[in-house]
Chains A and B, each alone.
Chain A
Amino acid sequence: MNRVSVWMIRLALIWFLITVFTGGCLLLAKAGTLSIHLVPFISIHITTAMAGWMVGMILGTGLWMFPRSIRADGRHVRLDGWWQPALVHGGTALWIVGLLLGSHAWIGMILWVAGVSGMIPIFWIRSRKLNPA
Chain B
Amino acid sequence: MTPITRSGLRLGLFWLLAGVFLAGLAESSWLNSYQVRPVWIHMLVLGWMTQWIFAISLWMFPRSKDGYRKRESLRTWSMLVCWNTALFARVLFEVEIVETAPAIRQIILGIAVLLFWIASVLYVIEIWPRVRVKKKMKRARHKGANR
Give the interface of A toward B (CB within 8 A). 1-3, 5-6, 9-10, 13, 16-17, 20-21, 23-24, 27-28, 30-33, 49, 54, 57-58, 61, 65
Question: Which A residues lie within 8 Å of B123 (CB)?
Answer: 16
Give the complex CA separation of A23 and B62 in angstroms: 30
Contact A33 B110 (CB under 8 A): yes
Contact B124 A31 (CB under 8 A): no
Instruction: Say yes or no: is B53 at the interface (Cβ < 8 Å to chain A).
Output: yes
Given contacts A27-B109, A28-B109, A31-B105, contact A1 B117 (CB under 8 A): no
Contact B134 A28 (CB under 8 A): no
Question: Which A residues lie within 8 Å of B116 (CB)?
Answer: 20, 23-24
In the complex, the chain B residue whose C-beta lies closest to that of A24 is B113
Give the complex CA separation of A119 and B7 in angstroms: 32
Question: Which A residues lie within 8 Å of B109 (CB)?
Answer: 27-28, 30-31, 33
**Nearest Cβ distance between residue A47 and chain B, in whole angstroms?**
14
**Nearest Cβ distance between residue B45 and chain A, in whole angstroms?**
7
Contact A13 B53 (CB under 8 A): no
> Can you report 16 A-B residue pairs in the complex whose CB atoms are below 8 A from each other?
A1-B132, A1-B133, A6-B131, A6-B133, A13-B124, A13-B131, A16-B123, A20-B116, A21-B117, A28-B110, A28-B113, A30-B94, A30-B109, A33-B109, A57-B57, A61-B57
**Nearest Cβ distance between residue A32 and chain B, in whole angstroms?**
6
Instruction: Say yes or no: is B49 at the interface (Cβ < 8 Å to chain A).
Output: yes
Contact B62 A1 (CB under 8 A): yes
**Nearest Cβ distance between residue B146 and chain A, in whole angstroms?**
23
Contact A2 B53 (CB under 8 A): no
Contact B133 A2 (CB under 8 A): yes
10 tightest A-B CB contacts, nearest first: A24-B113, A31-B109, A20-B120, A9-B131, A31-B106, A13-B124, A33-B106, A27-B113, A3-B133, A6-B131
**Nearest Cβ distance between residue A11 and chain B, in whole angstroms?**
10
Q: Which of A2, A16, A57, A58 contacts B120 (CB 8 A)?
A: A16
Q: Known pairs A24-B114, A24-B117, A30-B109; list 17 more (Cβ under 8 Å).
A: A1-B132, A6-B131, A6-B132, A6-B133, A13-B128, A13-B131, A17-B121, A24-B116, A27-B94, A31-B105, A31-B106, A33-B106, A49-B45, A58-B53, A61-B57, A61-B60, A65-B60
